Structure 1
Amino acid sequence: MKVHQAGESDNLTAYPLRLVHIILLSSVALFMSAASIKVNAKPVEQTYLSHFSVGSADTDTLQKVGQAEMSLMWFDIYSAQLFSRNGEYQDEQLPVILHIEYHREIDAQDIVEATVEQWLHLGLNEQFINQYQHHLTQAWPDIYQGDTLTFNVDANGHGQFFYNGALYYQVSDMQFSQTFLDIWLSENTSRPKLRQSLIGLVSHDY
């Protein structure tokens, strides 16, 4: 599969929150208030950790910090897992990996629009969003049930997007990498319970 570099013009995209509009024709706000988040205790395969090692020159594997599932009423949306070098979370620490497995089909354009909405929720100005939106429109394809999307940020802040385990898009802008992770990891995220599970503060079901 071709690896997309930052700046290419393919009409691809990023990550889903507007799924609620597809499922129940509701709003993202309703999605976040109605969603239930639960911890999944299923162990992570060591082969996965080895595949996403910390940069090409570093063979150390990352350890799982936490994981959670996003669901809307009786709909399972996705499972998310967070990895760091020592299995602990510290604000803006690198390297880090966010791995998501989707349980529903999601249109690429809905993913981009939902990501922009979350950036607005975090207080990013429109000038910044316009500057980085071209990354979103290239980073992900349409999502199908069972697909995995992985964002691997190395110690220098360079981001690598993996689609079903294959390198798909790269970006060398540390600010973009951190801002993308902030959707899940910022203290101001619209999904605080999911954040608590991902960073290992909660270890029980909601």
Structure 2
Amino acid sequence: MLAAQLLAAAALALGAPCALRAQPAPGVGQFVPSAQAAGSARLRFWGLEVYDASLWVAPGFRPADFSSHRFALELRYLRGFSGADIAQRSLDEMRRVGGFSAAQAAQWQSALARLLPNVAAGDSITGINRPGSGVLFLSNGRPLGEIGDAHFARLFFGIWLAPSTSEPALRTALLAGSQR
């Protein structure tokens, strides 16, 4: 397990940074007024390019307390994946961040599988953190739906933003501009 994490971190570290867009993804400004670019990075796994991630934050964002702030995390996919695979991988990564019950896992798995679409290269999925409320999901700028659970939101965004993430270099790149 540790070897796989080290290899994944090394693969990410060897990856090229992605260019941060001047404007947030479509729809983000509606849900995160005054959104500012915090950082971006490309996730590579075993040499395969998976997605470009971009974090957009409102003024006053504090990384140490990310779940209490409104922000948007956009993943622009570089290859195709099924929504079911994205949902399963999300739950696997959420387990690394914090604990949850089997009942919560089943509920969240069902909700994610229902909300997340299959993606092709160039498609994006954006999560909007709604502090104390949950996560609103957008696909290519269009609302998909919401999972109204603050615990889910903290663990979901923790995949990328928590100190316990499996991708610490990605976290550092995403939060780089929020440390000003």
Equivalence for 1:35: 11
- With over 3 angstroms needed to count, the CA separation of the structure-2 counterparts of 1:120 and 1:155, relative to structure 1, is closer
1:182 to 158, 169, 174: 158
* Residue 102 of structure 1 pairs with residue 77 of structure 2: yes
Cα RMSD (Å)? 2.8
Question: Equivalent pairs: percent with the same residue?
Answer: 23
Question: CA shift at 1:77, angstroms?
Answer: 1.0
Question: CA shift at 1:174, angstroms?
Answer: 1.7
The one of the two structures with greater contact order (alpha-carbon pairs below 8 A, sep at least 6) is: 1
1:29-65: CA deviation from partner (whole Å, max 9, x where unpaired): 586245324433443226x47x32354xx8x321111
- With over 3 angstroms needed to count, the CA separation of the structure-2 counterparts of 1:52 and 1:42, relative to structure 1, is closer
Number of residue-to-residue matches in the alignment:
172
Decide which structure has greater helix share.
2
Equivalence for 1:161: 137
2:86 to 96, 104, 111: 111
Unaligned runs of 5+ in 2: none
Equivalence for 2:39: 66
1:45 to 23, 34, 54: 23
2:112 to 115, 121, 136: 136
d(CA) in 2 for partners of 1:43 and 1:102? 15
The answer to whether the 8 Å contact 2:12/2:45 transfers is yes
d(CA) in 2 for partners of 1:42 and 1:185? 17
Q: Which amino acid aligns with 1:67?
A: S
Q: Secondary structure at the match of 2:143?
A: strand
Q: Which moved more, 1:29-38 or 1:165-174?
A: 29-38
d(CA) in 2 for partners of 1:69 and 1:171? 26
Structure 1 or 2, whichever has the larger Rg, is 1
The answer to whether the 8 Å contact 1:54/1:62 transfers is no
1:3-54: CA deviation from partner (whole Å, max 9, x where unpaired): xxxxxxxxxxxxxxxxxxxxxxxx97586245324433443226x47x3235
Q: Which amino acid aligns with 1:112?
A: A
Q: TM-score, normalised by structure 1?
A: 0.71
The answer to whether the 8 Å contact 1:54/1:154 transfers is no
The answer to whether the 8 Å contact 1:64/1:82 transfers is yes
Equivalence for 1:192: 168
Question: CA shift at 1:80, angstroms?
Answer: 0.4
Equivalence for 1:75: 48
Alignment of 1:2-41 (within 5 A): 29=5, 32-37=8-13, 38-41=16-19
- With over 3 angstroms needed to count, the CA separation of the structure-2 counterparts of 1:170 and 1:31, relative to structure 1, is farther
Question: CA shift at 1:66, angstroms?
Answer: 0.9
Q: Which amino acid aligns with 1:44?
A: A
Equivalence for 1:17: none
1:56-98: CA deviation from partner (whole Å, max 9, x where unpaired): xx8x321111111111354221000111112754322311100
Q: TM-score, normalised by structure 2?
A: 0.80
The answer to whether the 8 Å contact 1:138/1:169 transfers is no
Question: CA shift at 1:195, angstroms?
Answer: 0.5
The answer to whether the 8 Å contact 1:77/1:104 transfers is yes
